[in-house]
C-alpha cells in the first residue's frame, strides 16, 4: 500500500506538471515522451532512462521547456525513490533537491517546483529552508497563501516555536474561509505551553478574535478552554471572565437547551456564583431573584435575557408553551432597557427586550389560557409605556424609536388599530417609529435601516381605519425597503397594489413610475431577460446606460436610495455577464457599481456584501489577497474610518460595519482611466498592475505596450505613488 507521502508525490507530479508546462514557452515532443515513459516505469528504471536522456541533452542547445521538464521529472523520480527506499533516502533527496533547483533556474517562482522543494527539505529536516521556500510561495501564489501559512505553522510547531506557529495558523485561518481544523490546531498548540499563564493569554486573545469575526461556536470552545486553564492556575477572576464570554457566544445559537450546562464545571467543583447561577438558568431551575450576580450588570443581563429567549424557542418547538411563556416572563424582567445599549459592551447588540416583549405578547394572544384575564398583558404594556416615557425624558432618539416599534408590533399583532387613548394603538406607534427613524437617519446617514415591514403594517392600519388616501404612498415606502433588502417579489407585489389603489397625485405617480422601473429592471436581470450571452457586450452597456432607470431625474431625498439600487443592478449585471459571456473580460459594470456606492454610508443587506466580494474577485490579480471584504462588529457608533471604504450595515437585529480594502477603489479608477486612454484597444494585460496600500506598481513592459500616463494615475483619488517596475508581477 502506498504511503500517504507517496500518494501526495504522485498527485504533485501528475497534477502539477501540466501547470508547470504552461509557465514556460516552447516544447519538444521527444523530451515529453521520454519523461512520460520514465514516470510509467519502476522508479530505478525511470531514473536510468532519464540519466541516459540527460546525457544525450548535455551540452545541446535545449529548449527551455525541455530543460525544465527533464529536470523536474528527474527530481520527482529521486523524490519518489527516497520514499520507497529508506536506505538511500538522504542521497536520493539531495539529488532531488539539485534537480528541482535546476528546474527553478529555468522557471523562477514556479509553484510546483517550490512546493516539491518544501517537501524535500522537510524530509531532509531542513526546516528553516522549508520555511524560506514557503515564504516564496506566499509571494508567488498569494491566492493560496492560507495553505502555505498553515504549513509554516506546522513547521514552527514541530520545533516547539509555539507563538510563531500560532501566528502562522491565525494568518491561515483568518485569511481563508475559516477552516475549523486550523482553529483546533491553535487550541492544541496552546496546551503545549509550559507557561500556563501565557497559554491563557494567547488562547483568550484568539477566542476573542474568533468571537469578533463571528465564529461563535469555535469561540465558545476557546472560552471553555480558557476557563479550564484559569481554574488550573487558581485564577477565579479569569475563569469568571471566560464563563461570561462562553455564555455570550452561546447566546448566538438560535436554540439553546439545558444540555449546554454540561459544558461547564460541576457547581460543586467550581463553586463560584457565576457558575452556579448560569447552570441553574440553563436547567430552568432559576427564578429572577436567583440571578443576582448576572443581573447586577447590564452587559451580563443582556446575555442571560438573550439565553432565555433562545431557550424559549427550544421549548416552543417541543410544544411546551407554558414553559416558553415562563422563560419569556423571566427574560422580560431581566432584559436591559433600550437606553443602556450605549454601554461599551452592548453597542454591537440590538435590545433583546423588543424581541422578548413582542414574542410574549404573541403567546398571550395565541394561547389565552396563559393570560385568562389579560392582567399579564396589561401589566407588560404599562411597564413598556413607562419605559418609553423615560426614553423621551432622556431625549434618546434610538431608544424612543425602538419603543414605538415594539409597541406598534404588539398592537398590530392584536389588531388594535384604534383606541380611545391616542397612543394606545398600532397606527400611532408605527407612524411614530417611522418618524423617529427618519430623524435618526437625517442626522446620521450611516444609521440607515430598511424597515419595510413597519411601512407594510402601517398601510394595513390605514386601510383598517378608513384612511385609503394614505395607503398607496405607504405601500411604496414599503416596496422601496424591500428593494433594499433584495426581496423583489414582495416589492413588485406592493407596487402593483399601490398602483391599483385609487387616484394618485403627480408626486405619487412619479414615485410609482420610478420604483416600477427599478423593480422591472432588477427582475429582468434575475430572469435573464437580457441577452447576457451576446458577444456585443458594449451594446448591453449602452442599453443599460441609456435606460430610464439611469437617466431619470432624482427626486428629492431619493439620491442614496437610487445609488444603492444602481449599485445592485450593475453588480448583478456584471455577475450575470461573467457567468454567461466569455467576451465579458473588462469589468465595466463592476466599476460603475463601485462608483455609485462609493459615497454612501450604509448598505441595504447582507447580499450587498456578496456583491462586493464578487466585484473584488474581478480585481484579485491587482490586489493583495490578504485584504478582502470584512464584516466587523461595531465597537462604537463613530464615523466610518474612510468614507468610501466602510459602510454600516443595519438589518434586522444586526449592526455591523462592512470594510473593503481601499485599493479596490483605486484599482477600479486605474482600469477606468486606462480604458479612456486606450479606447480603441483591448487592455489584455491590465491585470499585471499591482496596487499595494495606495501604491500603483506598473510593469515596465506594460507601460511600453499600452498608453499609460503615470502622472494621470497619480491624480486619482487615494493614489499615493505610481512607480514603474522592471519585474514582471508573478501570478
What's the pLDDT at 643?
40
The answer to which of 128-132, 156-160, 192-196, 535-539 has the lowest mean pLDDT is: 535-539
Res 585 pLDDT > 60: yes
Provide the 3-class DSSP secondary structure of residue 45: helix
> How many angstroms separate the CA atoms of 297 and 301, rounded?
6
Contact 99, 35 (CB under 8 A): no
User: For residue 322, what are the CA distances in angstroms to 284, 304, 315, 319?
Assistant: 13, 19, 9, 9
pLDDT tens-place string over residues 459-513: 999 999 999 999 999 999 999 999 999 999 999 999 999 999 777 888 999 999 9
**Residue 660, C-alpha cell as written in the block:** 473593503
Res 247 pLDDT > 50: yes
Sign of CA pseudo-dihedral 493, 499, 505, 509: positive
Q: Where is pLDDT greater, at 335 or 627?
A: 335
What's the pLDDT at 171?
92
**Pairing between strand 695-699 and 690-692?**
antiparallel
Question: In the chain, what is the straight-line distance between the N-terminal and C-terminal CA atoms, in Å?
Answer: 37
Residue whose cell numbers read 448560569: 278
> How many angstroms separate the CA atoms of 10 and 23, rounded?
20
pLDDT tens-place string over residues 116-144: 999 999 999 999 999 999 999 988 887 78
> How many angstroms separate the CA atoms of 261 and 283, rounded?
7
What's the pLDDT at 25?
44
> How many angstroms separate the CA atoms of 718 and 546, rounded?
30
The answer to which of 213-227, 575-589, 697-711 has the lowest mean pLDDT is: 697-711
Residues 6+ apart with CB under 8 A from 87: none
Mean pLDDT of the 333-346 span: 92
pTM: 0.82
Res 634 pLDDT > 70: no
Sign of CA pseudo-dihedral 403, 406, 412, 414: negative
Topology, domain 4-140: 1.25.40
Percentage of the chain beyond pLDDT 70 is 91
Residues 6+ apart with CB under 8 A from 521: 547, 549, 569
> How many angstroms separate the CA atoms of 405 and 672, rounded?
45
Residues 6+ apart with CB under 8 A from 38: 46, 47, 49, 50, 53, 73, 77
Give buried/exposed letters for 447-464 (b at 16+ CB in 10 A, else e): bbbbbbbbbbbbbbbbbe
Percentage of the chain beyond pLDDT 90 is 65
> How many angstroms separate the CA atoms of 465 and 422, rounded?
13
**Residue whose C-alpha is closest to residue 490's, from 501, 475, 508:** 475
> How many angstroms separate the CA atoms of 166 and 150, rounded?
9
**Residue 376, C-alpha cell as written in the block:** 399579564
pLDDT tens-place string over residues 381-414: 999 999 999 999 999 999 999 999 999 999 999 9
110-115 LR contacts (CB < 8 Å, sep 24+):
110/20, 110/23, 110/68, 111/16, 111/19, 111/137, 111/140, 111/141, 112/12, 112/16, 112/17, 112/19, 112/20, 112/72, 113/20, 113/72, 113/75, 114/140, 115/12, 115/16
Provide the CB-side half-sphere exposure for 388 (13 A, CA). Answer: 21
Res 12 pLDDT > 60: no
What's the pLDDT at 6?
45
**Residue whose C-alpha is closest to residue 608's, from 558, 572, 644:** 572
Domain boundaries, the chain: 4-140, 666-725
> How many angstroms separate the CA atoms of 437 and 405, rounded?
10
Structure confidence at residue 691 as a pLDDT band (50, 70, 90): confident
What one-character-per-residue DSSP string does 160-191 give? Answer: T-HHHHHHHHHHHHHHTT--HHHHHHHHHHHT
**Residue 255, C-alpha cell as written in the block:** 436554540
Residues 6+ apart with CB under 8 A from 500: none
What's the pLDDT at 641?
39
Contact 659, 632 (CB under 8 A): yes
**Residue whose C-alpha is closest to residue 154's, from 139, 169, 136:** 169
Provide the 3-class DSSP secondary structure of residue 300: helix
pLDDT tens-place string over residues 419-462: 999 999 999 999 999 999 999 999 999 999 999 999 999 999 99
Mean pLDDT (the chain) is 88
The answer to which of 37-41, 181-185, 286-290 has the lowest mean pLDDT is: 286-290
Q: Other CB atoms closer than 10 Å to residue 684's CB: what's the count?
A: 11
What's the pLDDT at 591?
93
Amino acid at each position: 500500500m502506498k504511503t500517504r507521502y507517496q500518494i501526495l508525490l504522485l498527485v504533485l507530479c501528475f497534477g502539477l506538471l501540466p501547470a508547470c508546462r504552461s509557465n514556460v514557452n516552447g516544447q519538444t515532443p521527444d523530451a515529453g515522451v521520454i519523461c512520460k515513459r520514465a514516470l510509467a516505469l519502476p522508479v530505478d528504471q525511470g531514473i536510468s532512462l532519464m540519466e541516459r536522456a540527460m546525457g544525450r541533452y548535455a551540452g545541446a542547445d535545449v529548449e527551455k521547456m525541455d530543460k525544465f521538464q527533464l529536470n523536474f521529472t528527474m527530481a520527482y523520480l529521486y523524490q519518489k525513490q527516497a520514499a520507497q527506499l529508506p536506505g538511500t533516502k538522504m542521497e536520493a533527496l539531495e539529488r532531488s533537491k539539485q534537480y528541482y533547483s535546476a528546474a527553478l533556474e529555468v522557471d523562477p517562482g514556479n509553484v510546483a517546483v517550490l512546493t516539491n522543494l518544501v517537501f524535500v527539505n522537510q524530509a531532509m529536516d531542513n526546516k528553516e529552508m522549508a520555511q524560506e521556500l514557503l515564504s516564496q510561495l506566499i509571494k508567488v501564489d498569494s491566492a493560496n497563501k492560507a495553505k502555505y501559512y498553515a504549513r509554516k505553522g506546522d513547521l514552527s510547531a514541530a520545533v516547539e516555536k509555539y507563538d510563531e506557529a500560532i501566528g502562522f495558523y491565525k494568518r491561515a485561518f483568518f485569511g481563508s474561509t475559516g477552516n475549523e481544523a486550523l482553529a483546533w490546531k491553535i487550541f492544541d498548540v496552546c496546551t503545549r505551553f509550559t507557561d500556563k499563564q501565557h497559554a491563557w493569554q494567547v488562547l483568550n486573545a484568539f477566542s476573542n478574535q474568533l468571537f469578533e469575526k463571528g465564529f461563535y461556536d469555535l469561540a465558545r470552545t476557546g472560552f471553555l478552554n480558557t476557563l479550564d486553564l484559569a481554574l488550573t492556575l487558581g485564577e477565579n477572576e479569569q475563569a469568571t471572565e471566560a464563563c461570561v464570554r462562553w455564555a455570550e457566544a452561546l447566546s448566538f445559537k438560535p436554540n439553546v437547551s439545558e444540555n449546554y450546562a454540561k459544558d461547564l464545571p460541576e457547581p460543586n467543583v467550581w463553586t463560584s456564583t457565576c457558575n452556579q447561577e448560569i447552570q441553574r438558568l440553563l436547567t430552568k431551575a432559576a427564578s429572577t431573584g436567583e440571578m443576582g450576580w448576572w443581573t447586577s450588570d447590564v452587559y451580563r443581563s443582556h446575555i442571560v435575557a438573550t439565553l432565555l429567549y433562545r431557550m424559549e424557542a427550544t421549548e416552543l418547538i417541543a410544544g411546551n408553551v407554558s414553559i416558553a411563556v415562563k422563560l419569556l416572563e423571566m427574560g422580560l424582567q431581566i432584559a436591559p432597557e433600550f437606553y443602556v445599549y450605549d454601554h461599551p459592551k452592548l453597542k454591537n447588540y440590538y435590545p433583546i427586550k423588543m424581541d422578548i416583549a413582542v414574542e410574549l405578547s404573541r403567546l398571550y394572544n395565541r394561547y389565552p389560557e396563559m393570560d385568562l384575564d389579560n392582567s399579564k398583558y396589561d401589566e407588560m404594556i404599562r411597564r413598556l409605556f413607562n419605559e418609553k416615557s423615560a426614553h423621551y425624558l432622556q431625549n434618546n432618539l434610538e431608544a424612543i424609536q425602538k419603543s414605538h416599534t415594539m409597541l406598534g408590533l404588539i398592537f398590530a399583532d392584536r389588531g388594535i388599530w384604534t383606541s380611545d387613548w391616542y397612543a394606545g394603538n398600532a397606527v400611532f406607534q408605527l407612524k411614530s417609529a417611522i418618524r423617529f427613524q427618519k430623524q435618526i437617519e437625517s442626522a446620521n446617514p450611516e444609521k440607515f435601516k430598511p424597515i419595510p415591514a413597519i411601512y407594510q403594517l402601517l398601510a394595513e392600519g390605514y386601510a383598517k381605519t378608513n384612511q385609503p388616501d394614505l395607503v398607496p404612498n405607504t405601500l411604496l415606502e414599503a416596496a422601496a425597503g424591500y428593494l433594499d433588502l433584495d426581496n423583489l417579489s414582495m416589492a413588485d407585489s406592493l407596487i402593483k397594489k399601490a398602483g391599483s389603489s385609487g387616484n394618485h397625485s403627480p408626486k405619487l405617480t412619479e414615485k410609482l413610475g420610478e420604483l416600477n422601473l427599478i423593480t422591472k429592471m432588477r427582475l429582468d436581470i434575475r430572469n435573464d431577460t437580457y441577452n447576457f450571452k451576446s458577444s456585443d457586450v458594449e451594446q448591453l452597456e449602452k442599453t443599460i446606460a441609456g435606460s430610464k432607470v439611469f437617466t431619470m431625474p432624482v427626486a428629492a431625498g431619493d439620491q442614496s436610495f437610487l445609488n444603492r439600487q444602481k449599485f445592485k443592478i450593475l453588480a448583478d449585471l456584471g455577475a450575470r455577464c461573467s457567468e454567461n459571456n466569455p467576451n465579458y473580460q473588462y469589468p465595466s459594470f463592476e466599476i460603475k457599481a463601485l462608483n455609485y456606492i462609493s459615497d454612501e454610508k450604509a448598505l441595504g443587506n447582507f447580499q450587498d456584501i456578496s456583491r462586493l466580494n464578487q466585484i473584488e474577485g474581478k480585481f484579485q490579480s491587482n490586489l493583495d489577497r490578504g485584504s478582502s471584504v470584512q464584516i466587523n462588529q461595531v465597537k462604537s457608533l463613530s464615523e466610518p474610518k474612510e468614507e468610501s471604504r466602510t459602510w454600516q450595515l443595519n438589518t434586522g437585529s444586526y449592526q455591523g460595519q462592512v470594510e473593503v480594502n481601499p485599493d479596490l477603489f483605486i484599482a477600479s479608477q486605474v482600469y477606468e482611466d486606462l480604458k479612456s486612454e486606450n479606447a480603441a484597444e483591448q487592455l489584455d494585460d491590465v491585470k499585471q498592475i499591482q496596487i499595494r496600500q495606495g501604491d500603483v506598481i506598473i510593469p515596465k513592459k506594460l507601460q511600453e505596450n499600452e498608453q499609460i500616463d503615470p502622472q494621470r494615475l497619480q491624480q486619482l483619488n487615494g493614489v499615493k505613488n505610481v512607480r514603474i517596475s522592471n519585474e514582471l508581477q508573478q501570478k
